[in-house]
Amino acid sequence: MDYRVGIKWYHFDPAKWFIYFCYCLGLVSQINHAPENEVEKAKLSMKLKKLRDVQDRIKWPSQVDDLPVMDWETCMYF
């Protein structure tokens, strides 16, 4: 779909430059760019994956009974 691997122009991507060089020489007839919407969806997907990894590392209480309970009298001391 896209001949580039890096998203930004300054990302190190020797394959992109080789394909572009071949395009300039006429060895490649067409080079394609992915739609910006698809790039944004891929970025969001990677952010969600990282968030899921963080969520998996957090130790959540197994039951509601494990949560601390504060009553009015203990709250008055704060």
pLDDT digits 0-9 by tens, 4-31: 777 777 888 888 889 889 999 999 988 8
**Ramachandran region, residue 50 (left: φ > 0; alpha: ψ -120 to 50; beta: rest):** alpha
Please check whether residue 50 lies inside any domain of the structure.
yes
For residue 13, give every residue at least 6 positions away whose Cβ sits within 8 Å of its Cβ, in sequence order, or none. Answer: 4, 5, 6
pLDDT digits 0-9 by tens, 28-57: 988 888 888 988 998 999 999 999 999 999
| For residue 70, pLDDT beyond 80 | no
Model-level pTM? 0.51
Domain containing residue 22: 1-57
Please check whether residue 29 lies inside any domain of the structure.
yes
Distance CA 10, CA 67 (A): 49
CB 12 within 8 A of CB 5: no
Please check whether residue 37 lies inside any domain of the structure.
yes
Please check whether residue 40 lies inside any domain of the structure.
yes
Structural domains in the chain (count): 1
Please check whether residue 32 lies inside any domain of the structure.
yes
Distance CA 51, CA 29 (A): 41
Q: What is the pLDDT of residue 6?
A: 77
Distance CA 48, CA 35 (A): 20
